[in-house]
Amino acid sequence: MERLDGIIKSYFKTIEFRDRIPESEWEFGYFGRHYVQVLPSDVKGDFIDKSTLPDFFELQVKTLFQHAWSEAEHDLGYKPGSMPLSPDEKRLYVSDSAQGLWMVYGVKPDGTLGGGRVFFDAKPWTKTRKGAPDGLKVDRQGNLFASGPEVVYIFAAAGTHLGTIETGVPTANCAWGDDGSTLYITANTAVYRIRLTTRGAGF
């Protein structure tokens, strides 16, 4: 960070900066530094109206880190009750977008996580469709609704692929709403909803 700080300050005039440090390893967040910089006077661009430019701009430098619990909690809106836990709260599902996997972790009685294993390998799908494993939801029966490459995939608790809800575009997340039988889906530039015969866990 200090080396990068020197490079930044060699190019820009810094008005102020502050460090961002998560309070604990359980907190979703990042190590980083926020700067307020003077906008250089030599900003170039044929289509830029310099009269509309601000005098200052914010620059954020971030180093991400995530724990399985906090990653899932962040993906589903920072709501602990929305974490993709099995109905008996003995399993936690997590997306590994970089590896193209959905993972499952055992939850110990004290709330800590046991060893993880691959729940479903989506790499073959990521090679032919746009997107990657992303946000997750669980219904009352323990079935997993997994946002991913151009669809929401539906899996049984044992990992069997039961079906898909096609969106045709990269699909980032889903959430139960209304009486628990409506699934809302965020997909690229649109939000969809679909009525189902099941209900989300917690409804």
Predicted pLDDT at 28:
45
Token look-up 């469709």 returns 129
CA of 156: how far to CAs of 76, 93, 118, 140, 159, in Å? Answer: 20, 12, 14, 11, 5
Average pLDDT over residues 54-61: 76
The pLDDT value given to residue 58: 79
Q: What are the φ/ψ torsions at residue 67 (nearest 5 degrees)? A: -105, 150
What is the rounded average pLDDT of the residues 137-154? 95
User: Average pLDDT of 85-100?
Assistant: 89
Q: Look up tokens 């399985």; give the residue.
A: 68
Q: What integer pLDDT is reported at residue 82 of this predicted model?
A: 47
Supply φ then ψ for residue 97, to 5 degrees.
-60, -40
- Among 105-114, 147-156, 167-176, name the most confident range: 147-156
Q: Is the Cα torsion angle 77, 64, 113, 136 positive or negative in sign? A: positive
When pLDDT is averaged across residues 5-24 and rounded to a whole number, the result is: 75
Tell me how long the chain is.
203
Banded pLDDT at 18 (limits 50, 70, 90): confident
- As a whole-number percent, the residues of the chain with pLDDT over 90 amount to 36
Tokens coding 122: 């989506």
Which ranges in the chain belong to alpha helices (H)? 2-11, 68-75, 123-128
* Domains of the chain, first to last: 2-65 (no CATH), 71-195 (2.120.10.30)
Q: What is the mean pLDDT of the chain?
A: 80
Q: What is the pLDDT of residue 65?
A: 45
Is-contact 203 190, C-beta < 8 A?
no
Regarding predicted confidence, which is higher, 45 or 40? 40
Express as a percent the part of the chain with pLDDT over 70. Answer: 79
